[in-house]
Structure 1
């Protein structure tokens, strides 16, 4: 039966117009991932134009990630309920409307709504992209296709800040979205003409309670962490404590419900596999480091060191591009040597670099910052893919979708929590310094306050890297034998 299915799917694959479908997916995916980081470089500009604090501004990133975190657990169900074309057109429509609203936005509230609409588009697009690639390419060509997708996913966040810097330097922040808009429209036109229905519609039962519990759980925790960075109460605020507590309770109830269901929305038995759990923790900590660093560093380069948005973007470019280019190399090194000899040195590099970052001042050399940022992302490239692949390798074949869904969901939540906590530490560092300052109106004092806040935030990221380094010593290579590829592992 399996041989017949494979044969059918292989002959079916020849009917697909692969190149136009790939172009549609790559354009849409690139702009989606570009949106995730491009706005970071504009935050300093937005804080002045819209008269908002760093804690409020970070909601433009946190809100985006939170929406992704809520959507990803549901995406598996959506793929089985709606056709590929329906989901593709819906995804692009959300992205186009969100981008247009953002381009026209003149207030923080409107811009935040626009970011949520964009995130809905990206949240639908990413799972759809991977699912479509698996169907339209035969197994022997999937690696190359996934490699191209991987490069796009890594490359887009890398060039986002630089392109955004150029636009802010010469135009206004709104142009980040005006430039994205025509590409999304081209992607929609391409997809409308060439996208074919490749998924099988089974319409499984939707458990509304599971969706509600996961939304309240992830939403409550991220909202609580984000809110802690605002106001004078911080972490002692009743709203912060209540949000995090409700979020934890909802996630516990969600987990108990999944374990008691015959067909859960997300199969949590993946947590029975120790190397999957270790890999998941590595990816979770990595996302906290990446997202917190990618938010704090551009803010400090502009507000602490007085660099232009374009200059700040250029400093971040080499590290981001190298991270994307190194991913295939790390893949082959992982195949040859296993995860331990990559993950442990990678976390050691990240911890040392973040320690150096915690000592930066307004007088730090630009060349030093470029080298540090590049070294950090070399370390990150040594951790993410090997830890993720090794973890998923331990799962039985039928649990791959659940393992991927769990990892993708927690990546988004980790990014949101990392961003929220880093900005909270940055804001508290600035406030504490200014309270003890003898001349708080002096512009030089504001730079010193920003420096102290940024240094504290980098120490937080360094602590995460050290925790990861300790856990990394428990990682061991998972050997995937032919038997485990055919069915469940015993």
Structure 2
């Protein structure tokens, strides 16, 4: 098992086939994350369910990720790269197959959870493997290629599923993904190599339980609030309070343990912490925008699902193409010259979005969306790579687990806060008009809510901009093995 020695002797590791295996698997996993959003209307009428119930297809997925990803640091040290890669793909294949044949909403819901288990294993494994097999001074480009998949797949998801739904049923979203997952499995079975030596740490059940209640409670609480539970409902308040208490207990426990499940020592490295904060800002802005924009396009501008999907495609494609380019620029110039201008552009686009009305031209929206996606490519991967570069190799699994977990949590928070500001903005507008049931007033109220939600996004991006002034390039020369 010579190729199971760690990086130092990794001359016989074939980098390209390993990265290719991850890219195919990651693309399909993340594509199905957003592809189903376009089919929600069809699912609501087909299964005779309420919107808030349908929303569980996304919430359940996020919840599973929020519960499993924190444990991934432990799982990555327990099993080999090949075992985890194949397990993640088998979960994705089983989940996708169950979803393709799902006769009821309950079955589809189970399928989504099984799919999410696959993604929760794959994402941290992918980042960790890149950190292990690629020297720090070349990482920007590789992280950029992964960024291409992570941003590109969810961006094309709605457009492709819009096309599928024009002619076929929603089941085909999954039938089309299945053969591609099989290709990834076969490809990975041939080419995936073990790049780390499992250290078999002991499992601490108390940590697992606290982490599950903590992260699960927070994601669930925010999602419920966003789905119309409202911030005042007992369920939301209780889950958020219990989640927070469990998280605090989890964190204290990790600092006391000799072999923590999630090693919080990563936070001692300032660039890791700053990079993490910038990613959280990005995810909050991006996911709330990606939730609100399609609603605005379909409600205020009365576009069809497919047209709305098409309008958001150029930004997603450009973001995907630019990710590796920004990675290369990061390798040459460091993060500062990308991240600060990027956040200035994000704040500017959010300001632009906060001015939308019923008369706003579609061209203006497409241009703003493209600018936003370019800016996100300037921030996400450089901040992430710079942060992870500062960690010593033994903290790689923990650093990637922390980043991936908090990304899911901040996405859930951003979406929930965005949606609840949107609905309160709509309500406050309707209180000022005499005829609340007039369809025009309804649309005007909704648009007012959209403006309010983007004002929240402006504030978040300005906070990010302030943080970005503290980012410094991590000197990787002395850390290169």
Pairwise same-fold verdict (TM > 0.5): yes
8 Å Cα contact 2:426-2:449 kept in structure 1: yes
Aligned-pair CA distance for 1:102: 2.6
From 281, 293, 296, give the equivalent of 2:277.
281
Residues 350-397 of structure 1 deviation map (CA, whole Å, 9 limit, x = unaligned): 111111112222322111111000001111112112222222233334
Aligned-pair CA distance for 1:65: 2.1
For 1:136-175, what aligned pairs fall within 5 Å after superposition? 147-175=144-172
From 118, 122, 125, give the equivalent of 1:125.
122
Residues 416-444 of structure 1 deviation map (CA, whole Å, 9 limit, x = unaligned): 11122222223333444456654444433
| Between 465-474 and 437-446, the greater mean CA deviation after superposition | 437-446
Q: Counterpart of 2:202?
A: 205
From 11, 23, 26, give the equivalent of 1:26.
23
8 Å Cα contact 1:43-1:299 kept in structure 2: no
Q: Counterpart of 2:335?
A: 339
Give the 3 Å change call, closer, same or farther, for CA 136–464 of structure 1 in structure 2.
closer
Give, in whole Å, the separation in 2 of the partners of 1:312 and 1:270: 41
Q: Is residue 2:235 matched to residue 1:239?
A: yes
| Between 200-209 and 47-56, the greater mean CA deviation after superposition | 47-56
Give the 3 Å change call, closer, same or farther, for CA 254–132 of structure 1 in structure 2.
same
Give, in whole Å, the separation in 2 of the partners of 1:406 and 1:221: 15
Q: Counterpart of 2:112?
A: 115
State the secondary structure of the residue aligned to 1:236.
Answer: coil
Give, in whole Å, the separation in 2 of the partners of 1:394 and 1:141: 14
Give, in whole Å, the separation in 1 of the partners of 2:304 and 2:175: 21
> Please, which runs of 5 or more residues in structure 2 have no aligned partner?
none
Give the 3 Å change call, closer, same or farther, for CA 435–55 of structure 1 in structure 2.
farther
Give, in whole Å, the separation in 1 of the partners of 2:224 and 2:86: 34
Aligned-pair CA distance for 1:204: 1.4
Q: Is residue 2:456 matched to residue 1:450?
A: no
Give, in whole Å, the separation in 2 of the partners of 1:389 and 1:312: 33
Give, in whole Å, the separation in 1 of the partners of 2:167 and 2:390: 50
Q: Counterpart of 2:307?
A: 311
Q: Counterpart of 2:10?
A: 9
Give the 3 Å change call, closer, same or farther, for CA 7–342 of structure 1 in structure 2.
closer
Give, in whole Å, the separation in 2 of the partners of 1:435 and 1:57: 29
From 391, 394, 402, give the equivalent of 2:398.
402
| Between 416-425 and 470-479, the greater mean CA deviation after superposition | 470-479
State the secondary structure of the residue aligned to 1:204.
Answer: coil
| Between 428-437 and 359-368, the greater mean CA deviation after superposition | 428-437
Q: Counterpart of 1:384?
A: 380
Give the 3 Å change call, closer, same or farther, for CA 138–73 of structure 1 in structure 2.
same
Q: Counterpart of 1:427?
A: 423
Aligned-pair CA distance for 1:30: 0.9
Give, in whole Å, the separation in 2 of the partners of 1:9 and 1:297: 46
Give, in whole Å, the separation in 2 of the partners of 1:430 and 1:211: 41
8 Å Cα contact 2:132-2:393 kept in structure 1: no
Give, in whole Å, the separation in 1 of the partners of 2:258 and 2:390: 22
Give the 3 Å change call, closer, same or farther, for CA 279–8 of structure 1 in structure 2.
closer
8 Å Cα contact 1:155-1:320 kept in structure 2: yes
8 Å Cα contact 1:229-1:421 kept in structure 2: yes
8 Å Cα contact 2:74-2:262 kept in structure 1: no
Give, in whole Å, the separation in 1 of the partners of 2:414 and 2:104: 25
Give, in whole Å, the separation in 2 of the partners of 1:323 and 1:147: 10
Q: Is residue 2:185 matched to residue 1:188?
A: yes
8 Å Cα contact 1:60-1:112 kept in structure 2: yes
Give the 3 Å change call, closer, same or farther, for CA 344–65 of structure 1 in structure 2.
same
From 90, 94, 97, give the equivalent of 2:94.
97
Q: Counterpart of 1:263?
A: 259
Aligned-pair CA distance for 1:57: 4.1
From 371, 376, 385, give the equivalent of 1:375.
371
Q: Counterpart of 1:65?
A: 62
Aligned-pair CA distance for 1:191: 3.9
Give, in whole Å, the separation in 2 of the partners of 1:280 and 1:7: 27
From 179, 192, 215, give the equivalent of 2:176.
179
Q: Counterpart of 1:353?
A: 349
Give, in whole Å, the separation in 2 of the partners of 1:89 and 1:151: 22
RMSD of equivalent CA atoms: 2.9
Aligned-pair CA distance for 1:218: 0.8
> Please, which runs of 5 or more residues in structure 1 have no aligned partner?
none
